[in-house]
Structure 1
Amino acid sequence: MRNEACRLDYKKISRFISLILRHHPETIGISLDHHGWAKVGELITGINDTGKYHIDMPMLEEIVMNDNKQRYSFNSDKTKIRANQGHSINVDVELQEAIPPEILYHGTGEKSVCSICAEGLQPKSRLYVHLSKDIETAANVGSRHGKPVVFTVASGKMHRKGYRFYLSVNGVWLTKSVPVEFIQLQGKNRLQD
């Protein structure tokens, strides 16, 4: 029972760290550098000062190592930490441009279908549109937003037309936006090249 409680605390703490490192570092009185790095000592102290959670370095290392979405990275000497992607604040996480596969997928909730079909995929509050390499991952992402819906993205065609793609260290494909002509609701006729 204690192990289960620890896992739940780790999950809650991981979500809190995600909020801090992706969106609101000021929540605990810290700042991120230009590349999204926070000082580990300041992060731990800031979290502990909230009184909401108690965290130490071994716990933080375990959260980073065991996070199923690989949200976080340490620098080489573990004095800094950052979120790998998903920021709403303007940071440069030093993404490497990459050639995408021919097809990628975007999962969302059913309520977003009409706006996506009208406007394409937009980053909304984030810096990039997030794309998945397989339907299952996209459906899982979509399920966080209600009844899941998956769009097929003609990423190879986009790339050949000059759109840039980036691959985050945790395997998420990123691009600034996806115009309507490059998307199709999964299950409809396949996209043509």
Structure 2
Amino acid sequence: MKEKDKKQISKFLSLILRHQPEKIGLQLDKNGWAWVIDILEKSKLKFTLKELEEIVMTNDKKRFSFNDDKTKIRANQGHSLKTINLELKTQVPPKVLFHGTIEKFIPSIKLEGLQKMNRQHVHLSPDQETAIKVGSRRGKPIILSINALQMHNEGYAFYHSENGVWLTDNVPVDFINLIPNNLTSEKLLDE
């Protein structure tokens, strides 16, 4: 399968499994699972189960998962659908997590911290490299370090998705540090 086709199908899957299943008349269950057969039959993009398996297995962000017998598929996180329960268990995060953003969002982050906006959770990365990739999707990345373990110790819940993304409901300003030039941390409020 060509990379271009894989990318197009992956974007389609993200749309219908995370945001707009109704676009093709797809039903997601309460945990975000959809029948694979429904996707294959209802999609205007024509692809086979074997091609779908290849996309799930090779997706660099591991966005999707199959159930054990590969009859159902779901997105691992990133839903704007508020009714989806991914059955995530709270976990103790590492001391520091990272978030990639761009300059235009810094003023609101300084005021409100990181908010989930139209998603179910704020997404945090386990390393700076991943945060850089995330931030780069919208422009020149700015990397924030998050005092995750301190947040956890103060009662904030963290979840770890199947694809390695850390999730939380919000990140208050007091737990955010700016990493200028990706070298050292300084308090976001000191800027």
TM-score class, shorter-chain normalisation, is over 0.9
Hey, which bits of structure 1, 4+ residues long, moved more than 6 A? none
Matched, 1:38 2:39: no
Larger CA deviation: 126-135 vs 178-187: 178-187
TM-score by length of 2: 0.93
CA deviations over 1:47-81 (Å, ceiling 9, x no partner): 1xx3xx21111111111011111000000111100
Matches within 5 A, 1:1-193: 6-47=2-43, 50=44, 53-90=45-82, 91-187=84-180, 188-189=185-186
Answer yes or no: is the 8 Å Cα contact 1:96–1:168 preserved in 2: no
CA deviations over 1:135-186 (Å, ceiling 9, x no partner): 1110110001211001110101000000000000100000000011111111
Distance in structure 2 (CA, Å) of the matches to 1:147 and 1:85: 24
Gaps of 5+ in 2: none
Q: Amino acid of the residue matched to residue 136 of structure 1?
A: E
CA RMSD of aligned residues (A): 1.3
TM-score by length of 1: 0.92
Aligned residues: 183
Aligned-residue offset at 1:189: 2.6
Distance in structure 2 (CA, Å) of the matches to 1:186 and 1:18: 30
Query: The residue matched to 2:110 in structure 1 has which SS?
Result: helix
Q: Amino acid of the residue matched to residue 120 of structure 2?
A: L
